[in-house]
């Protein structure tokens, strides 16, 4: 599989493109998916003037085994009253299988919010859902290597 190595400047440019696509939308808050959505989310928050940013920590993969689970584990998720009646921009860096962002969007919808999904990279051939992101910058099937993911975990 081809690898696409991203740079910090390239990420900033892509977030700028995404911000342009989203500029006419109004959001009550942004929800970033950890860990990949955090850095683009911070940049996008500045570009769109969104100060209310919450986090969804979702795990499909076990970091120890590298195996994917069937159901997501929500390690952190905002309480329903924060989402009820709100337009929620859900941001992640990549839509690979689509399962993580769809699980988050489903939880937002169940809480009474209106989820709008956005990613920098959308992988249509890898997607395991008939849905696609509401907004994305690039469609690709390459393995994306983000500048923040190049660093190995420190052993204690």
pLDDT tens sequence across 44-61: 999 999 999 999 999 876
Q: Comparing 18-22, 64-68, 95-99, which segment has the lowest mean pLDDT?
A: 64-68
Side by side, which strands form the sheet with 29-33? 68-76, 53-61, 29-33, 87-95, 114-122, 135-139
Q: Going from the N-terminus, what domains does the chain have, and what CATH number goes with each?
A: 3-148 (3.40.50.2020)
At residue 72 the predicted structure's pLDDT band, cuts being 50, 70 and 90, is: confident
Cα distance between residue 61 and residue 58, in whole Å: 9
In which element (H, E) is residue 89 found? strand 87-95
At residue 83 the predicted structure's pLDDT band, cuts being 50, 70 and 90, is: very high
pLDDT tens by residue, 2-36: 899 999 999 999 999 999 999 999 999 999 999 99
pLDDT (0 to 100) of residue 73: 85
Number of H helices, E strands in the chain: 4, 8
pLDDT (0 to 100) of residue 59: 84
Q: What is the pTM of this model?
A: 0.90
Average pLDDT over residues 77-84: 97
Q: Is 10 exposed, middle or buried (0-12, 13-18, 19+ CB in 10 A)?
A: middle
Average pLDDT over residues 105-110: 97
**Two structure tokens written together for 37:** 């959505």
């Amino acid at each position: 599989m081809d690898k696409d190595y991203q740079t910090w400047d390239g990420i900033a440019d892509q977030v700028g493109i995404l911000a342009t696509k989203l500029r006419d939308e109004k959001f009550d808050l942004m929800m970033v998916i950890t860990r990949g959505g955090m850095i683009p989310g911070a940049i996008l928050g500045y570009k769109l003037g969104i100060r209310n940013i919450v986090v969804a920590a979702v795990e499909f993969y076990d970091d120890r085994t590298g195996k994917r689970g069937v159901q997501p584990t929500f390690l952190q998720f905002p309480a329903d009253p924060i989402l009820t009646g709100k337009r929620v921009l859900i941001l992640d860096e990549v839509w690979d299988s689509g399962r993580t962002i769809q699980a988050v969007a489903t939880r937002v919808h169940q809480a009474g919010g209106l989820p709008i999904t956005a990613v920098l990279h959308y992988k249509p051939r890898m997607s395991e859902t008939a849905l696609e992101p509401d907004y994305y910058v690039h469609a690709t099937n390459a393995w994306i290597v983000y500048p923040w993911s190049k660093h190995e975990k420190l052993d204690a």
